[in-house]
Amino acid sequence: MAREIMIDLASYQANLTANDYRAIGATKAIVKVSESTNYVNPYIQSEVNNAAAGGVNGFAFYHFGRFTNDSGAKAEAEYFIANAKAKANVKPGTLLVLDAEINNMPTSSVIVFLDTLRNAGYHTGFYTYKYLLPKFDLEEIHKHCDFFWLAAYVLANGKADGKNPNFNYFPSANYVDAWQYTDNLLGYGVDGSITLTDNALALFNPSEVKQPEQPAQPAQQPAKSTVWKDSLGDEWHTENGKFTSNTALHLRWGARTTATAITVLPAGSVVKYDAWSRHTGYVWLRQPRGNGQYGYLVCRNANTGEPYGTFK
């Protein structure tokens, strides 16, 4: 089970520098885009830039919901999408999250909001606090979201919490992909969460700004060779087959988790591959694409042997 530290960023964190992010050590971030239909975070781009320069390698984006009916939900979702595109160049396939913290938000309206995002081509997430969870029908909401993020913690009251959460406070709920366990991670005034599922990590699209440069395309194998090493020194094995994923997975331009994502493949995707490699803690597959290019995806955890789908 994959566990990485995740932070969420609003205008309150605009003063954080790349060095601050390095000290925090988070690898994933969810950045606030908008609230209601009249507010946009003015620091989206600088926060993404600084976080990426400080070691964050995956981003998602969130909207603080104020709607109390279905029409309001649709209007806020459209406002969220428009500003995510305009302010952060967010592409379809990115994880967009609803922050649901008000008392009178109907489940039906949450579903309208999430479906508006999904119909526009985005992955959808739902966030709320444990004490608010009984006000929602999670079983119904879960059918419309790809990612469930739940907050449950004792208020720090100025006391800094570390990167090892106390699981005695872990919320008892279904489907939790990430748990927000502190409101003051390491004293930096940021909310800290921990990812709990591989699904959570797969849904984070890398930012297109200030990410590490993509390694050169691995060299082609010699003719008729069944085992070869690419330009990065990774050993590859020729094998033709089909892989069907059982969770959302990144398809990337290189066989590294830092490589630029082509897209996020939803669960049930079928990928034809022509080679595999075991390195960086994973087993990777190579997907032939047009114009002599290749895509790469993780198919198995190399340490635990856990597959992320089935082979044929």
Instruction: Give the pLDDT score at 122.
Output: 93
Instruction: Give the pLDDT score at 24.
Output: 95
**CB-based contact 229:220 (threshold 8 Å):** no
Domain boundaries, the chain: 5-202, 227-311
Instruction: Give the pLDDT score at 213.
Output: 35
- Strand, helix or coil at 28? strand
Q: Taking Cα atoms as reference points, which of 101, 59, 103 lies closest to residue 84?
A: 59
Instruction: Give the pLDDT score at 37.
Output: 96
Alpha-carbon span 17 to 31, nearest angstrom: 15
- Give the number of other CB atoms < 10 A from CB of residue 279: 16
Alpha-carbon span 226 to 224, nearest angstrom: 6
147 Cβ contact partners less than 8 Å away, ≥ 6 residues apart:
60, 95, 97, 123, 124, 125, 126, 177, 178, 199, 200, 203
Instruction: Give the pLDDT score at 225.
Output: 52
Burial class (CB in 10 A: 0-12, 13-18, 19+), 195: buried
CATH classification number, 227-311, choose in 3.30.300.30, 2.30.30.40, 3.40.640.10, 3.40.190.290: 2.30.30.40
- Give the number of other CB atoms < 10 A from CB of residue 2: 14
Strands 5-9 and 28-35: parallel
Rounded to 5°, angle at Cα 299 from 293 and 304: 145
Residue ranges for the chain with pLDDT beneath 70: 1-2, 155-159, 205-225, 291
- pTM metric for this prediction: 0.67
Burial class (CB in 10 A: 0-12, 13-18, 19+), 38: exposed
Instruction: Give the pLDDT score at 211.
Output: 36
Mean pLDDT estimate for the chain: 87
Terminus-to-terminus CA distance in the chain, angstroms? 25
Q: Thinking of the domain 5-202, which architecture would CATH place it in?
A: Alpha-Beta Barrel (3.20)
Alpha-carbon span 232 to 238, nearest angstrom: 17
